Amino acid sequence: MTPVIRLNDVSLGWRDKPVLQHVSGQFNPGTLTAILGANGAGKSTLVKGIIHFLKPTAGSIDIDPAFRKELTLLPQLSDLDRSFPITTYELVAMGAWRRIGPWRQYGKAERARINHALEQVGLQAVADQLIGNLSGGQLQRALFARLMVRDAKVLLLDEPFAAVDEDTCEDLMRIILGWHAEGRTIIAVLHDVDRVKRCFPETLLLARQVVAWGKTAEILTEENLHKARRLSLGGF
């Protein structure tokens, strides 16, 4: 099977600070993978390497050309400028830009798609509110709705459950599982070992290097988790 993303002995870092060393492995089409590790393990750094925001200091990251335009990132909520003066509807509508461009009118089909996505995440009532007025959970729902409108085949979710209430976590997890059932390839950065065990068939356990990568049931052993914590000198 041709992988969607292949990591070939990749090292990544920030300026002269090495973060990840010798990461090799692949994400296959249709897989749902959690990237798990302690604070500072290099999870977000790896995501930034995959989206080509960061260039590897060694090794290479190959994206299957068939999926290159399909790679979409859900950024960390903390990376977003919430003072940006747009409404929930406008934020969600940005998901259609790749199809229609930022300046063209949204046709009937796109408007229906945007409204359907707002409905799916339960945000119709706040569609006209500025995003600065949304709670953390509502904003994350809006970003998920934007991903629905975007309709990409490969999704990179950086901490989708951070700063989000438990009800929202459950709703968002259902959406992720729905995307997985549709055959999309999903990679999510997570901290919660129990959620990974319950919901993610594959796991990449990181601690500035690969501790283990494979079927969650096989690799999330106490021994591997202990090793990941010891190498990172921290908890999840």
Ligand X SMILES: Nc1ncnc2c1ncn2[C@@H]1O[C@H](COP(=O)(O)OP(=O)(O)OP(=O)(O)O)[C@@H](O)[C@H]1O
Instruction: State the residues that interact with ligand X by CB under 6 A.
Output: 14, 19, 37, 39-45
Distance (Å, whole) CA 202 – CA 118? 29
- Least Å distance, CB 113 to ligand X, is 32
- Least Å distance, CB 182 to ligand X, is 27
Nearer to ligand X, 37 or 95 (CB): 37
- Least Å distance, CB 42 to ligand X, is 5
Nearer to ligand X, 89 or 161 (CB): 161
Nearer to ligand X, 14 or 84 (CB): 14
The set of long-range contacts for 64-72, using a CB threshold of 8 Å and a minimum separation of 24, is 64/2, 64/3, 64/4, 64/5, 67/4, 67/5, 67/29, 67/153, 67/154, 67/185, 69/98, 70/152, 70/153, 70/154, 71/152, 71/154, 71/156, 72/147, 72/150, 72/152, 72/154, 72/155, 72/156
- Least Å distance, CB 105 to ligand X, is 37
Nearer to ligand X, 88 or 140 (CB): 140
